[in-house]
Structure 1
Amino acid sequence: MSPTPEITTLGELRAAGHTSRSLREEMRENLLSALADGRDPWPGLHGFEHTVIPQLERAIIAGHDVVLLGERGQGKTRLLRTLVGLLDEWTPTVAGSELHEDPLAPVTDATRTRIQAEGDALPISWLHREERYVEKLSTPDTSVADMIGDVDPMRVAEGRRLGDPETIHFGLVPRGNRGIVALNELPDLAERIQVALLNVMEERDVQIRGYVLRLPLDVLIVASANPEDYTNRGRIITPLKDRFGAEIRTHYPLEIADEIAVIRQEAHLTAAVPEVLLEILARFTRNLRGSSAVNQSSGVSARFAIAAAETVAAAALHRATVRGGAAVARPVDLGTTIDVLGGKVEFESGEEGRELDILEHLLRTATAEVVRERFAGLDLGPLVEAFDGVRTVTTGERVTAQEFLAALPRTASEDLYDRIAERLEASGPGERAGAIELALEGLYLVRRLSKESVAGETVYG
């Protein structure tokens, strides 16, 4: 954050050559400037580059209010919060103004009176861009007073007339003047509350208990919502939908690389998780989204994959704490996600009792896909031959990497384990053990090895 500008009065502001511009002009010019300079105005967003982002940029250039429609966990809220980056870092306002009024373009009679009385000595305060973003989680108990405002009985008791605008306590939307007001889960707002937004978005009027205040509010309304065919809690009323200039559909990442990037960016990992395990979790999540056993109208959130990665990392740290060694996740830790994350997925009504089986099957499918891709062309026959019907190798949640590596059988190909590790760019003992463990799991999945899992231990043979 740069230092607050030193200008403190209206006279100094005018002397500095400051000019007034509307919020939409400000965002449009800043966006076009970033695009012209080759800067990315949307940091931290993955998979929207060729679909959602171009639509949103066109909406901002056009000066439209925007509603984002999409299933849960598609990054709608993150996208809305990123809009803050298109605002000027510091914006001058009239000191003490509830509505953050522009000193060169006031909107209330009270502020105009102050400017006439104080002139160039009018105090100026500065508003940082982060303070110009207001976010509201729409809930059924939200009132018109919360959103728009209400008559303040205390001000009436002080002697002001009931028709005096000074008696009004402004709500969230007017207080967001000269900024962005984001409404999450818009359909959850009661229909009568949605009606109260109609004039604000179109005529920019504020109507409170019979009073009509002609306030030229300079506010951008953005909202997020689940598709109406999924949420049974409410709907966006047709007149309000018509007020939004742009309705943009979001989606889950289309490419595996984008899915992995989201996991890596959002997950708070307490241990090292190799890239290959993140790919398995990403493919696992995508398999859930394509499964007929899963309720696809509710979606499978990106938070599922993020929580899965955090669980895998936690399992690795738990093992390292109990048994020693480096905290590095291995394929054996993937199974820990199924027991704790099943509740994050909504299954079809006919799948009661089969939830764990479905999750295990789709995880195995994801693992097999990664094994085929990562070990394509590598002859693992000598590793199969090393298991002579008697020899076994044990791994598990409490088996350290060193113990696993020490128990591996000799193979006819002396450098086979090195080539397996090279395929996954595994360097340390933890990553090396994970790479070989994944190869064993792949051989089990193609029925070339057997596997038995009991009480947290897995035996290959």
Structure 2
Amino acid sequence: MHQPRILRELRASDHVHRSVKAEVRHNLLTKLRAGEPRFPGIVGFDDSVLPHLERALLAGHDLVLLGERGQGKTRLIRTVTGLLDEWTPVVEGCEINDHPFAPVCTTCVRKAREMGDELPVAWKHRDERYGEKLATPDTSVGDLIGDVDPIKIAEGRTLGDPETVHYGLVPRTNRGVFSVNELPDLAERIQVSLLNVLEERDIQVRGYNLRLPLDILLIASANPEDYTNRGRIITPLKDRFGAEIRTHYPQTVEDELTLIRQESMPDIGADIPEHLLEVIARFTRLVRESTAVDARSGVSARFSIAAAETAAASAVRRAAITGEEHAVARVCDLPSMVPTLRGKVEFEVSEEGRETEILAHLLRRATAETFRNRLGGADLAPLTDKFAEGSQVESGEMVPAAELLRRIGPVNGLAKIMAKLGMGAGDESPGHAAAALEFALEGLYLMRRLSKDDLDGVNVYRT
């Protein structure tokens, strides 16, 4: 596709100059009418958060996403750039992405006056029209808005020359989407610098007589005020945001499962059967609901993602040590998640010293719930009959799948058990069969139909 390279060509084309918010509104309406996905990769917000976000964008509002850690606020903000035009023209070399039809910075205004219709035009992809700043206490007004550039002064320009200004992140994202993450962490005197950006749509730099009208969509994220004592959003700034939208954690096990599948690393090298992913999803939900956990801090979606990756890594480690051809995670890999995940959870002060015990208990509950959901009505008599004469089966993290199957022996109805656990025709390896049988054994133990001795990571199942 030919893109005009000078202003004359751009005027002769069918290009229409729209503000960022008008651009977002137009493209959002187009997707809504066509029934296309508006925010790809966002899970569990379809009927709650996204309708509010769409209304805010259609209204042309700057907005704040408010929610606990790990609820996907930043991920959601980044998807908004998908509502921008794929390509947009800018004055070539402009630091703040001026539109060739309406330049605003001193340099571009001078160029446009001198060059007229020969003004050079460059094109920016929508991925380049996004700016982001994590608000930290050491963030300065210069970082966000701009400051005097001492190098330009040293080159001989006068201090009052507007071209001596070094623009900050906000003006450099002009005609784009700018995100301030964890806005309450920004010092109050720095938050004041955003007041003009949101209301008057311009910036001021160190007393310069510089009015720079910005075309920008500003989206901030914040934790609820009762969660953090590090700061707050000042009232005048809060008033200038057009919308405040609350986010939340996945509300169903299915949403949690979708999130784990989507976000966990695909290249660890191990297969995690569906029933183990369900255990992890239920485990995460139980941790969030536990009275032993500080509800104000929340339990991030990264908790379940890290859990799945840890279980897969445990299976890969076993395969490397024992020589297994194909690594498949099993129930014996789940306890390794507990010490790994302990640091991701804020516990109530009264539970100090019991963190590992609490997480291990919740993991057992999640396993039991998944067993009831998946195998609650299954005929497991052929498996329990193997223990009728006092025999026992030894398993553990370092027991290869083939060896575990040898110890258990043939089990009638194994295919039905695997089918109930979501294993299809392609999941017929020894690793998958061992994963199914070990999960059944663990479930029978948790239902008190078998006993289990845990001896330094070696699990002995018996009657």
| C-alpha RMSD of matched pairs (Å) | 1.4
Q: Partner of 2:461 in structure 1?
A: 460
**What is aligned with 2:109?**
112
1-side partners of 2:42 and 2:311: how far apart? 24
State how far apart, in whole Å, the 2-side matches of 1:249 and 1:99 are. Answer: 32
CA shift digits 1:331-387 (9 cap, x unpaired): 111111012211111110000111111111100110111100111222323432321
Equivalent AA in structure 2 for residue 336 of structure 1: S
Do 2:382 and 2:412's aligned partners in 1 also have CA atoms closer than 8 Å?
A: no
Which deviates further from its counterpart, 6-15 or 62-71?
Answer: 6-15
> Which of 419, 422, 430 is the aligned partner of 1:422?
419
Per-residue displacement from partner, 1:381-402 (whole Å, max 9, x unpaired)? 3432321353111111111111
Q: Is the 8 A contact 2:314 2:336 kept in 1?
A: yes
2:436 is the counterpart of 1:435 = yes
Deviation for aligned residue 1:436: 1.2
Structure 1 residue runs without a partner (length 5+)? none
Q: 1:395 matched to which residue of 2?
A: 395
Residue 298 (structure 1) aligned with residue 297 (structure 2): yes
**8 A Cα contact 1:206 1:212, kept in partner:** no
User: Equivalents in 1 of 2:230, 2:276: separation in Å?
Assistant: 37
4+ aligned runs moved over 4 Å, structure 1: none
Please report how far the alpha carbon of residue 55 of structure 1 lies from its aligned counterpart in structure 2 after TM superposition: 0.5
- Equivalent residue number for residue 192 of structure 2: 195
2:224 aligned partner: 227
Q: Which moved more, 1:447-456 or 1:54-63?
A: 447-456
Kindly report which structure 2 residues correspond to 1:405-420, keeping only aligned pairs within 5 A, or say none. 405-409=405-409, 415-420=412-417
1:391–1:409 CA contact under 8 A, matched in 2:
no
**Counterpart of 1:308 in 2: which secondary structure?**
helix
SS of the residue 2:310 aligns to: helix
**What's the CA shift for 1:18?**
1.6
Give matches, 1:103-142, under 5 Å.
103-142=100-139
The 8 Å contact of residues 96 and 173 in structure 2, kept in 1 or not, is answered as yes
Pair 242,308 (structure 1): closer, same or farther in 2 beyond 3 Å = same
- 8 Å Cα contact 2:274/2:422 also seen in 1: no
AA matched with 1:400: P
One-letter amino acid of the counterpart of residue 176, structure 2: G
Q: Which moved more, 1:76-85 or 1:389-398?
A: 389-398
Q: Distance in 2 between matches of 1:382 and 1:131?
A: 61
Letter in 2 for 1:189: L
Q: Deviations over 1:67-107 (max 9, x none)?
A: 11111110001001101101111110001111110001111
Spell out, residue by residue over 1:220-242, the C-alpha distance to the aligned partner (whole angstroms, 9 max, x if none).
Answer: 11111111111111111111111
Listed as ranges, the matches of 1:62-461 within 5 Å are 62-269=59-266, 270=268, 271-325=270-324, 326-388=326-388, 390-409=390-409, 415-426=412-423, 427-461=428-462
> CA contact under 8 A between 2:315 and 2:328: conserved in structure 1?
yes
Q: Which amino acid aligns with 2:286?
A: N
My pick for the range that moved more, 77-86 or 386-395, is: 386-395
Question: Helix, strand or coil for the counterpart of 2:177?
Answer: strand
Whole-angstrom CA distance in 1 between matches of 2:82 and 2:47: 20
1:172 counterpart letter in structure 2 = L
Letter in 2 for 1:274: P
* SS of aligned partner of 2:327: coil
Matched residues in 2 for 1:95 and 1:419: separation?
66
Q: Matched residues in 1 for 2:351 and 2:208: separation?
A: 56
* 8 Å contact kept, 2:275–2:422: no
Q: TM-score, normalising length from structure 1?
A: 0.96
Secondary structure of the 2:328 match is: coil
Structure 1 CA distance, aligned partners of 2:147 and 2:378? 72
Rounded Cα–Cα distance in structure 1 between residues aligned with 2:376 and 2:443:
11
**Distance in 1, Cα, partners of 2:145 & 2:110:** 24
User: Normalising to structure 2: TM-score of the pair?
Assistant: 0.95
**Aligned counterparts of 2:458 and 2:376: Cα–Cα separation in 1:** 28
Identity %: 60
Could you tell me whether the CA contact under 8 Å between 1:204 and 1:214 is conserved in 2? no
Greater CA drift, 207-216 or 219-228: 207-216
Unaligned runs of 5+ in 2: none
